[in-house]
Structures are given as C-alpha cells and as structure tokens.
Structure 1
Amino acid sequence: MTVPAGAAELLDAWETGWDRTPLERGLALLSAGTGRPSAELARLTIGQRDRALFELRAALFGSGLDGVSTCPECGTDVEVSFDQGQLLGPPSPAPYRLPTSADVAAALSDPDPCGALVDGCSKGAGAEETAASWAQADPLLDVELCLSCPDCGHEWAESFDIVSYLWSELDGWCRRTLLEVHDLATAYGWNEPQVLALSPWRRQCYLGLVRS
C-alpha cells in the first residue's frame, strides 16, 4: 500500500533516480511512496510494483492519463486519454514464478537477458511458453494500448510503461517545485525545507504575491 509522498521525499526520489536506469527509477519512486527500502521492493513482482506505482500516481496526480501518439501510417498526432483503472485487471495464478525487479536486474547483466530471465523463473520451460503464461497471469507485465487514427482510420497497438510515464510527470513537477522554492527563497529568505513545509495552497498564495 502506497501513501502520498511529501514534496521533500519526491524531490529526493527524483534526485536519486536522475542518472539511474528505468528499473532503478521505478524502485526509487515506490520507495518514496511507501517508505520501504528499494532492496525490499525489488522482491515484488513487476506487476505488484506497477500496481503500487499506479496507486502512488493516482494519489499524486489523479487517475486520468493523457498523452499524444503519432499514427505510424499517416503521421497524425493522436491524443490519448483514459483512466488508469482500465489497465488494472487482477492477476491470476501462473504456472511459473512471475519475474521481480531483482530478477530483471540480474538478467540484464547476462549476455542473453531474456534467456536468463526465463531460466531464472521458469525452471527450464521454453521462452515462448513462459512469456505467454506470464502475459496471461498478469496483464501489467506487458501493457499495450489499442489506438486508432481519427484521420486515416489506421489501428495499432502501443506499449505503455507506468515507470517512464510517472517519471516524466515527476520530472515536470520537480522542476516547477524548484522554481517555486527559488522564487520564495529569493523573496523571503526562506530555505528549501521551510518552503516545502508550506501546504501547496499556501505556497501558491505566497507565489501569487511575489509574482503579481
């Protein structure tokens, strides 16, 4: 269960994950939201991790997701909007162990990462059979959005990754927050902890005075 992280914790997670891999960024975000160490969270399955990240995102930014894709047929920009609840179907039992972040991290150091991941979780089953069982057991392991172009009618599937999406949102929020800290520190001489301790509403009131 995630809880809404405070501004300071989110900025710390952003700093921690700035030069890290997407896998490490996902764990840093979840650690900020739960207060649990990344090493412990790495033992969650990828689906469990992503459900927790969706929960954290809903607490921070709401459940609606918006984006823009490009039609591969005619190049038209297509707006995409949906509620994350549409993606969060419950997992079901799998014949093979579902991969964790720790499994993925270990597999990435192998010359054949896909083969290493399958071998580590499926006890000798084939890659195709294992991947099919994983996808059937937990839809969050490989999320694809079904899109349609309003201009040419072309339909296609596009992958969706909650880690990269949430990281992009957090990056924008952190940059705006640092600018707010800068403006209020310049105007009132407050330090970062003092600015972040203000409620978002009160911070905006002070910013309105400073920027008017």
Structure 2
Amino acid sequence: MTTVSAGELLDAWESGWGHDPLRRGLALFAAARRTAPAVVAELPVGRRDRALFAFRAALFGTTVNAVSRCPGCGTDVEVDFDQEELLARLEQPHPADGDAVTMREDGREVRVRLPTSADLAAVLDTGVPEPGEALVSLCTPAGGPAPAAGAVAEAWLAADPLIDVRVGLGCPDCGTDWEESFDIVGYLWAELDAWGRRTLMEVHELARAYGWTEPETLALSPWRRQCYLGLVAT
C-alpha cells in the first residue's frame, strides 16, 4: 500500500466531504492508489474494499471497535474484532474469471461483470425503483435477457465475498443472534473524519502559537506535533 502523507489524507477528506458514501469510498481509494477517482471507479467493488481494508490497517491499525443495536431488545452491543481475522475467513472458494463470473441460466452460459463503483453510481444516480435488477442488466452483455438478479448476486458473492462483508453478533441481554453488514467505506470515513478534525485543530493551535503554515505543521511527525502542542498548553 502506498504511503500517504497527512496533507494527501486531508485532501482526500476534503474531496469526499459533502458527497454520498460511494464518492467518499472513491476518494479514499484514489488516495490509497495515488490516482484519480475516475480511474479506480472502473475497478470491481470487492477489489476496492480489499484495498480500503489494507489502507485502513496502514493508517489506523486492524482492530475494529463499533456499536450496533440489538434487533430484539434495542440494547447497544459493542462490536470488537480484528479485521485481519475477518478477512482471513473470507477466502474466495470460486474465484472470478478476471473481473467477471460465468453462470448458467435456462440452458445458456452468461458472463456477468463484477460490479464497479462506476456501475453503482450509474444505477444510483438514476433512482430506478429496482436498483439490483438495473445493476445486473448493466453488467450483462447486450443481446440477450439479463439473468435473475438474485442468482447473479449469489454468483458475485461466491466469486468475491468482500462484496458483502457480514459480521456475526450476539446480544448479551436477550441472547438474540444476528448478522450485520460491515461497511468498510463508512467505518474508514468516520475514522478519517475524526482524524481530519483533530489534525486541523492541531494545525490551528500551532499556527496561532508559532505562525507556522499548514504544510509546515503537517511536515512534522505526529509525535513532534504533540510535543509542541504540549509546550503550547503549558
């Protein structure tokens, strides 16, 4: 994974600010690859999320701490796991043939592309009532009927489990067990948002104390910035 500077992270945070989760994910992916969002938008969603897990590990570590709500009694349930252990369980038992899966339906073979961020954007931006069917149609070659959306979704998930990462949870109060999707884009964005706000406050404090510019402040290591902030506070 490419090393990203504090300034580049702030740029990614700014470029994703005010956008929907899909565009935020692209901003993060582009920062990780040091390229334009339009370039990474053409890569399959599972590949994007696999890269974002690696990006998050490099930035914030592998431990995930979150809170969910029990569907049975409404109790807040703490969610703690190591993302590397989760990813190790999500092997690809039926790897995709390149960026597509081949499936049989009604006696014919159909080759369906794995969905990309560009595909999702094209579907979501139209606001169609059946986005799943529209996505399958978009990823299926023209010239024949699109296969059933449910069957394609299963084939996609078998080819790349990262398309829908699910975590098993249990409520300590009522004993309800359930599964919940883990959205790496949303979780990583929340971490980046907290980091960005905290970093801007540090820049503000040091600029006010020493007159340093933002690039000068960000050029300092996080440890050294904390040392200077400690001096300012005394």
| Common fold by TM > 0.5 | yes
TM-score relative to the length of structure 1: 0.95
Between the aligned partners of 2:219 and 2:91, the Cα distance in structure 1 is: 37
What is the aligned partner in structure 2 of residue 160 from structure 1? 182
- Unpaired runs of 5+ in structure 2? 103-111
What is the aligned partner in structure 2 of residue 115 from structure 1? 133
Letter in 1 for 2:194: G
Contact 1:63 1:84 in 2 (8 A): yes
Could you report, residue by residue, the CA deviation over 1:119-174 in whole angstroms, capped at 9, with x for unpaired residues? 12134111111011111111111111110011111111111110000000000000
Letter in 2 for 1:116: A
Between the aligned partners of 1:148 and 1:179, the Cα distance in structure 2 is: 38
Between the aligned partners of 2:134 and 2:73, the Cα distance in structure 1 is: 39
Alignment of 1:182-197 (within 5 A): 182-197=204-219
Give the deviation of 1:113 after TM superposition: 2.4
Letter in 2 for 1:107: V
Between the aligned partners of 1:116 and 1:174, the Cα distance in structure 2 is: 36
Whether 1:106 aligns to 2:122 is yes
What is the aligned partner in structure 1 of residue 83 from structure 2? 84
Between the aligned partners of 2:233 and 2:46, the Cα distance in structure 1 is: 44
Give the deviation of 1:28 after TM superposition: 0.5
Alignment of 1:163-174 (within 5 A): 163-174=185-196
What is the aligned partner in structure 2 of residue 3 from structure 1? 2
TM-score relative to the length of structure 2: 0.86
What is the aligned partner in structure 1 of residue 161 from structure 2? 139
Between the aligned partners of 1:113 and 1:70, the Cα distance in structure 2 is: 27
Q: Secondary structure at the match of 2:212?
A: coil
The number of residue pairs the alignment matches comes to: 211
Q: Which has the higher strand share?
A: 2
Q: Secondary structure at the match of 2:67?
A: strand
Between the aligned partners of 1:19 and 1:83, the Cα distance in structure 2 is: 30
Between the aligned partners of 2:47 and 2:86, the Cα distance in structure 1 is: 13
RMSD, matched Cα: 1.3
What is the aligned partner in structure 2 of residue 45 from structure 1? 44
- Unpaired runs of 5+ in structure 1? none
Give the deviation of 1:41 after TM superposition: 0.4
Give the deviation of 1:38 after TM superposition: 0.9
Between the aligned partners of 1:145 and 1:55, the Cα distance in structure 2 is: 18
Percent identity, aligned pairs only, is: 59
